[in-house]
A and B are shown apart, each in its own frame.
Chain A
Amino acid sequence: MEFTILDDGRTTSFSADEAHLNQSGRLAIRAAALDEKLGWSFKPQGLCQGDLCIPVSDRAGLADGDDIDFARFGELLGRPTVVDSAAGVAAIGRGTSSQLATMTSLEAPDFELPDLAGVQHTLSAHRGKKVLLIAYASW
């Protein structure tokens, strides 16, 4: 079964070989797919994204051979995860501490969203202007 993983605003598909449920029913991701699709590689020094590495004390708790436990991966990164095994969908969001860091930095996070015609717009395209961001809804 294919798995779809929502990674903080990105949607990625994993083949049955790249992501599967292990004997305990937990979602496991192949290390190569974790690196290629989620941007984290499992190395002797820990979980690494570029030069940044997070030490992993319980390596056996995270990895079983080539399989990385998805929920444990999220815990180590301090990021919330949801797995719906039956639906074949999982997600990893923004951790509280990194969300707080983003907010207290006061830098407006960039985003890309469509208008009614489907044309994509970014916030950063308006650098140099004063922007009033207005979130509203029909509800």
Chain B
Amino acid sequence: MPVWQALYEELGSEGFVPITVALDRTEDVRSYIEASGATHPSLIDESHRTAELFHIVNVPTLIWIDEAGMICRPHDSQYATDTFTAFHKKLSGPYLDMIRAWVRTGAGAMTPEEIRAHQPTPDDDAQLARVERAVAWHLLSDGRADTAEPHFARACELAPKDWTIQRGSMPLRGGNPFGPEFFALAEQGKFDYALEAITPTHAPEEGE
């Protein structure tokens, strides 16, 4: 992603590193990553390990982690560019400025209480859905697509609003994540993170 690479070149010497994680098959992101020219860690998470660990339910999801390895801003749903701003109504520029301020002054980090209030909350069905998805992915990557399919289906039943499962499994199940099934999903109402960092109507105050 050229924007994160540019930000890394700008802020890397000030102790900042972006780590991009693709919740995808390698083959689906290979050309994209090659074209990005990333020198920061640009990783591939076929098994959705980070989605499991951080309870990530949609993309893009951005999480700020401080020097001590503590989360200091959870699960922002933000974009590096304004390509889809008409759809999600979020501007990228103010968010990139927030990151610059955080790196340089620590501003923008939230208190532990604020972070906990904004974290998405897993439940039993969500956790079982992750296990079903793990079984499905294991079988699929073992060449057993037919055996994997009922596990994908069960995962989707259990976590109807988790887009890493619902939409993320479309290409794995022979579907089209940009086709009619995506728009049907969008109409059902997607999972919304509590934290909406920046919208056109809520730009950060100076120094926020």
Name the B residues within 8 Å of A139 (CB-CB). Answer: 24, 28, 59, 167-168, 170-171, 177-178
Tell me which residues from 47 to 74 in chain B have a Cβ below 8 Å from any Cβ of chain A. Answer: 47, 49-56, 59-72
Say yes or no: is B122 at the interface (Cβ < 8 Å to chain A).
yes
Say yes or no: is A46 at the interface (Cβ < 8 Å to chain B).
no
> Are A132 and B135 also in contact (CB < 8 A) when A94-B127, A106-B115, A126-B19 are?
no
Q: Is B139 a contact of A89 with CB atoms below 8 Å?
A: yes
| A10 CB to nearest chain B CB (Å) | 11
Say yes or no: is A123 at the interface (Cβ < 8 Å to chain B).
yes
Q: Is B34 a contact of A136 with CB atoms below 8 Å?
A: no
Interface contacts beyond A100-B122, A115-B42: sample of 19 additional A-B pairs, CB < 8 Å, sorted by A: A4-B138, A6-B134, A80-B130, A82-B135, A84-B135, A87-B139, A91-B138, A95-B127, A96-B127, A106-B116, A111-B53, A126-B17, A127-B68, A130-B103, A132-B63, A133-B19, A133-B54, A134-B21, A139-B28
A selection of 18 A-B contacts at a CB cut-off of 8 Å is A4-B138, A9-B47, A80-B127, A81-B131, A87-B144, A89-B138, A91-B135, A93-B134, A96-B124, A106-B116, A109-B53, A111-B49, A130-B16, A133-B62, A136-B23, A137-B29, A138-B32, A139-B24
